Homo-oligomer: A and B are copies of this chain.
Amino acid sequence: MFSFDLIATQNRARTGRFHTPHGELATPVFAPVGTQATVKTLTPEHLKSIRASLVLSNTYHLYLRPGDELVAEMGGLHEFMQWPGPMLTDSGGFQVFSLSDTRKIDDDGVTFKSHIDGSTHRFTPERSIQIQENLGADIIMAFDECADPNDQAYIAKATERTHRWAERSLAAHKRADQALFGIMQGGVDPDLRRASAEFISSLPFLGIAIGGLSVGETKREMYETLDMVTPLLPEDKPRYLMGVGTPEDLIEGIRRGIDIFDCVLPTRLARHNAAFSSEGRLNLMNASYARDRRPIDETCDCYTCRTFTRAYLRHLIVAKELLAGTLLSIHNLRALIRLMEEMRIAIQDGSFEAKVPSLLAQWQGNAERASKTKNTK
Complex CA–CA separation, A293 to B73 (angstroms): 10
- Docked-complex contact B326 and A37, CB < 8 angstroms: no
The 7 A-B residue pairs whose C-beta atoms are closest, nearest first, are A66-B315, A36-B319, A38-B323, A41-B322, A38-B321, A82-B307, A74-B311
Task: Assess A312 versus B44: contact at CB under 8 Å? Given A66-B318, A290-B66.
Answer: no
- Docked-complex contact A312 and B74, CB < 8 angstroms: yes
- Docked-complex contact A327 and B36, CB < 8 angstroms: no
Tell me if A25 counts as interface (CB < 8 A to partner B): no
Which residues in window 35-49 of A have CB below 8 A to B?
36-38, 40-45
Mark interface residues in A52-66 (1 if CB within 8 Å of B CB, else 0): 000000000100011
- Docked-complex contact B326 and A40, CB < 8 angstroms: no
- Docked-complex contact B325 and A38, CB < 8 angstroms: no
Q: Which residues of B contact A73 (CB under 8 A)?
A: 291
Which residues in window 279-336 of A have CB below 8 A to B?
290-291, 293, 303, 307-309, 311-312, 314-316, 318-319, 321-323, 325-327
Q: Which residue of B lies closest to A75 (CB)?
A: B293
Q: Which residues of B contact A314 (CB under 8 A)?
A: 66
- Docked-complex contact B323 and A40, CB < 8 angstroms: yes
- Docked-complex contact B70 and A291, CB < 8 angstroms: yes
Q: Which residues of B contact A40 (CB under 8 A)?
A: 321-323
Q: Which residues of B contact A323 (CB under 8 A)?
A: 38, 40-43
Instruction: State the number of copies, please.
Output: 2
Mark interface residues in A10-49 (1 if CB within 8 Å of B CB, else 0): 0000000000000000000000000011101111110000
- In angstroms, how far is the closest chain B Cβ from the Cβ of A69? 10
- Docked-complex contact A82 and B311, CB < 8 angstroms: no
Task: Assess A44 versus B307: contact at CB under 8 Å? Given A36-B321, A323-B38.
Answer: yes
- Docked-complex contact B303 and A65, CB < 8 angstroms: no
Tell me if A233 counts as interface (CB < 8 A to partner B): no
- In angstroms, how far is the closest chain B Cβ from the Cβ of A357? 37
Q: Which residue of B lies closest to A321 (CB)?
A: B38
Tell me if A81 counts as interface (CB < 8 A to partner B): yes
Task: Assess A326 versus B43: contact at CB under 8 Å? Given A65-B315, A80-B312, A82-B308.
Answer: yes
Complex CA–CA separation, A307 to B312 (angstroms): 30
Given contacts A38-B316, A322-B322, 13 further A-B pairs with CB under 8 A are: A36-B315, A37-B315, A40-B322, A41-B322, A43-B303, A43-B323, A43-B327, A70-B291, A70-B311, A80-B311, A80-B315, A82-B308, A82-B312
Complex CA–CA separation, A319 to B327 (angstroms): 21
Complex CA–CA separation, A290 to B42 (angstroms): 22
Mark interface residues in A184-225 (1 if CB within 8 Å of B CB, else 0): 000000000000000000000000000000000000000000
27 contacting pairs across A/B (C-beta < 8 A): A36-B316, A36-B321, A37-B312, A37-B315, A38-B316, A38-B323, A40-B321, A40-B323, A41-B322, A41-B323, A41-B326, A42-B323, A43-B323, A43-B326, A61-B319, A65-B318, A70-B290, A73-B291, A74-B291, A74-B293, A74-B309, A74-B312, A80-B315, A82-B307, A82-B308, A82-B312, A326-B326
- Docked-complex contact B322 and A325, CB < 8 angstroms: yes
Q: Which residues of B contact A38 (CB under 8 A)?
A: 316, 321, 323
- In angstroms, how far is the closest chain B Cβ from the Cβ of A237? 34
Q: Which residues of B contact A326 (CB under 8 A)?
A: 41, 43, 326
